[in-house]
Structures are given as C-alpha cells and as structure tokens.
C-alpha cells in the first residue's frame, strides 16, 4: 500500500513504539497510586508532559492529557463557556473548522450560546477585518485551527489572538495538524493537540492552558490532572505522546526538508489541469488538496485499492456530503466532488509518491477520455 493520508493519521514511529513497549508489556501500575511502581509510572508521565510542552514551546501554562483532540476541543469550548463571565455568551469560530469544533458549537447554540461562523476567502484564509468586526465584548472565546486538516492552509492565529484579547475574549487554537511542523504562535490561551498526527499513538490528546485560563472540567471523578480531567492516565499512551513530540522537535528540519522535496516532486508530475485547493503560500506543504475539472473523485478512489488517500476529511468521509471546507472556499458541489486530498510526510518515499501520482493522473485522464 502507498499511504498518502497523513492528515487522517500518521504511522507510529518505531522509536515511539519502542518507548511504549515496557509500559504495555510489564509496567502496569496505576500511575496515581502511591506505591513505588505507581510513582515510577507517574514520573514517566511527567517527563512526557514536559516533552509535549517543549514542542509547543510556550511558557506560563500547563498541559493536561485527554483521550483525544476531540475531547480537548470539547473541553476547551464547553468549559470556557461554562466559566465565562456574565454577558459573555458568544463564540466566534470559522466555517472551515474540524467537526470537533463545529459540532460542539452547534450543540452549545442549541442551548442558547450565540455562535459566529466566520467565512474564508477563496484561498481558505481568513479576512482579519471580518474577524475584527465579529469579535466583541460579548465574546467569550475565539476558536481557530492553525493548520487546516483538509487544505493545509495556515491561519493568522497571532493576529486573531490580538483581536480576541483586545475584546477581552480567550483564544483557542486547534494545533493538531501544526504541532511539530509549523511554529505554534505565542498568545493563544488554549491549544488542542493529538498524538496520532505526529507519529504517536491513537487515543491520546492534550490541552495546553495558559495559567488562569483553565476551562471548567467536563469529566469529574478521581481528580486526576489537578482535578481538571479525571480518569486514570495510560502511561503507555502518555509516554508515546512524549516520545513522538521529542522526535518531532529533533526532526523538525529534516522532516520539513523532506516534505519540501516531496512537494516539488509532486508538481513535476502534476500538469496544469490539476488545481490546488487553498493557498499555495500560507500552507503546510505535506498537504495536497487537488481538483480537476469533471473528475469523479469517488470513482477515482475506487480504482485504487492500494493507494490510501482521501476525498475530504477522514471524519467526514462516509457521510457522502461534499466537504464543508471546500464548500466554504466557494467551490460548487461538483468541484468539491472533483477533489482529492493527498497527505505525505516523514516515511513517504519520493518514488512511491511519484508512482501514485502518475497512476492517479493516468486514471483521471482516462475518466475524461471516457466522458468525451
Ligand atoms: N482537529 C483536527 C484539525 C484534526 O485533523 C483532527 C483529526 O482528524 C482532530 C481535531 C481530532 O483529533 P482526534 O483524532 O485526536 O480526536
């Protein structure tokens, strides 16, 4: 299989698997128990916490582990609204956010919270004047994704944070696709992360919180994570997240150079009939969201059982609906259905990317010839 779906998930790094192994096989103590073994597990979790904090690179806050980034985002949004001062009952977010943000906002809207959904331009980026106009003294939280999971574009999080703070609102960024790849701008009060997008294990995420901006807890119980997120932590998953974060820091330049080489190799193959969705400049280049006039992307995908790529967001696929992100760029339903998403990274070999793109290109042309 040629795996080109890095935005959906990334392969577990062998170094990460090795670090996790003893915590899966032998070291089963509860990290919250006071025994010697429990303390050893707890110490390993604290090392992992520091490793993830270091890759974020911000000071003045702390990190709590969660079961996923979806949980971290739910917590950040619901918990912030729960604690918001009277009169601040509004969230400002963006039409191109992940379902973990959009569906959470929709749920809150059904309970009386006002939600503003900012549009994006054709290149997928926000217009700061519109942000400025939408964020006001009634706003409790502004939520925006750093790197978009479908089209890879990098939103102006720093500028948005300034706007949010000027209005007295808190700023949340979903940095799931940015962690370890692009710098996470200083300033947001809340940062949501996931391990499995950086060659770590699935089933663990985190929320970084500026001191004083901790959301009200969603999950009550044994008081773990300073009473903010109850539930026994998994040492194996935490240690895996830490190892993946450390590796991402160490390999940031090498991984970045590799992605750049792959991006260039891809465009040597793709002709002018392939159109890039989203900005080419403000973009993480391990993402290629492409469309082609009259392409039936669903049929194309069915032709390739040995190449993994995506039609839209992995979470949305299966719904049969065209991607909400592509629709937000202003693409019609047909254009959205003519789009494919390819994601590549650390373990993608140039030769396999080239082979996959050649075959996809040939199949797309064959579809056109058949239709003509
Ligand atoms: N946010 C973004 C941008 C994502 O790409 C994803 C994963 O698809 C999530 C949030 C959810 O992450 P998790 O799988 O850890 O719940």
Please state, rounded to an integer, the average pLDDT across all residues of the chain: 96
pLDDT in tens, 156-197: 999 999 999 999 999 999 999 999 999 999 999 999 999 999
State how far the Cα of 21 lies from the Cα of 66, in Å rounded to an integer.
Answer: 21
Beta-bridge partners for 62: 209
| Ligand 1 atom closest to Cα of residue 196 | 15
What is the mean pLDDT of the segment spanning 35-48? 98
For residue 244, how far is its CA from the centre of ligand 1 (angstroms)?
16
Identify the pLDDT of residue 352.
98
Is the distance from the beta carbon of residue 98 to the nearest atom of ligand 1 less than 6 Å? yes
Instruction: Determine the atom of ligand 1 nearest the C-alpha atom of 7.
Output: 5
Residue 194 CB less than 6 A away from ligand 1: yes
Q: What is residue 314's predicted lDDT score, i.e. its pLDDT?
A: 44
> Does residue 148 have its Cβ closer than 6 Å to ligand 1?
no
pLDDT in tens, 318-338: 567 889 999 999 999 989 999
Percent of the chain with pLDDT over 90: 94
Q: In this prediction, what percent of the chain has a pLDDT beyond 70?
A: 98
C-alpha separations of 286 from 7, 105, 150, 246, 334 in Å: 9, 29, 11, 20, 25
In this prediction, residue 318 carries a pLDDT of 58
- Per-residue pLDDT averaged across 18-44, rounded? 97
List Cα–Cα distances, 156 to 143, 145, 223, 328, 370, in angstroms.
Answer: 12, 9, 36, 17, 43
Task: Tell me the per-residue pLDDT of 92-132, one tens digit each, with 9 for 90 and over.
Answer: 999 999 999 999 999 999 999 999 999 999 999 999 999 99
Q: Give pLDDT, residue 321.
A: 82
Measured in Å, residue 154 CA sits from the centre of ligand 1 at 16
Catalytic residue among 218, 265, 275, 315: 315
pLDDT tens profile 279-298 = 999 999 999 999 999 899 99
Which ligand 1 atom is the nearest neighbour of the CA of 73? 10
pLDDT, mean of residues 222-232: 98
pLDDT at 123: 98
Q: Ligand 1 pocket check: which of 197, 278, 343 to mutate, most ligand atoms within 8 Å of Cβ?
A: 197
Per-residue pLDDT, 313: 46
Cα–Cα distance between 66 and 215 in angstroms, integer?
A: 13
Compute the distance between CA of residue 153 and CA of residue 295 in angstroms, rounded to an integer: 23
What are the b/e assignments for 259-284, b being 16+ CB within 10 Å?
beebbebbeeebeeebebbbbeebbb
Tell me if residue 315 is catalytic. yes
Instruction: Give the per-residue pLDDT at 315.
Output: 46
* For residue 269, pLDDT beyond 80: yes
Counting DSSP H helices and E strands in the chain, the numbers are: 12, 12
């Amino acid at each position: 299989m040629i795996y080109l779906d890095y935005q959906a998930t990334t392969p577990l790094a062998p170094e990460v698997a090795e670090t996790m192994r003893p915590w899966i096989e032998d070291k089963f103590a509860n990290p919250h128990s006071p025994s010697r073994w429990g303390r050893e597990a707890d110490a390993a979790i604290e090392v992992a916490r520091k490793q993830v904090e270091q890759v974020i690179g911000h000071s003045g806050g702390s990190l709590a582990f969660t079961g996923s980034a979806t949980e971290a985002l739910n917590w950040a949004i619901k918990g912030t609204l729960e604690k918001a001062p009277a009169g601040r009952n509004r969230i400002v977010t963006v039409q191109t956010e992940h379902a973990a943000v959009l569906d959470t906002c929709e749920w809150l809207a059904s309970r009386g919270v006002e939600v503003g959904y900012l549009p994006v331009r054709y290149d997928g980026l926000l217009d700061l004047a519109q942000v400025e106009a939408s964020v006001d003294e009634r706003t409790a939280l502004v939520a925006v994704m750093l790197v978009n999971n479908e089209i890879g574009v990098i939103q102006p999080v720093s500028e948005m944070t300034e706007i949010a703070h000027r209005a007295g609102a808190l700023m949340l960024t979903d940095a799931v696709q940015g962690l370890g790849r692009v710098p996470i701008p200083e300033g947001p009060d809340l940062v949501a992360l996931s391990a499995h997008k950086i060659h770590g294990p699935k089933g663990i995420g985190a929320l970084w919180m500026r001191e004083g901006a901790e959301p009200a807890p969603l999950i009550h119980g044994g008081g773990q994570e300073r009473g903010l997120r109850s539930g026994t932590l998994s040492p194996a998953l935490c240690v895996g997240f830490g190892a993946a974060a450390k590796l991402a820091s160490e390999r940031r330049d090498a991984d970045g150079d590799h992605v750049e080489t792959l991006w260039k190799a891809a465009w040597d193959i793709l002709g002018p009939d392939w159109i890039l969705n989203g900005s080419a400049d403000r973009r993480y280049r391990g993402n290629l969201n492409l469309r082609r006039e009259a392409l039936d992307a669903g049929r194309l995908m069915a032709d390739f059982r040995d190449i993994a790529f995506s039609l839209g967001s992995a979470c949305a696929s299966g719904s049969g609906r065209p991607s909400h992100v592509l629709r937000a760029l202003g693409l019609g339903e047909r254009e959205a259905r003519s789009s494919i998403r390819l994601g590549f990274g650390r373990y993608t070999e140039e030769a396999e990317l080239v082979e996959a793109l050649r075959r996809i290109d040939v199949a797309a042309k064959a579809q056109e010839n058949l239709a003509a």
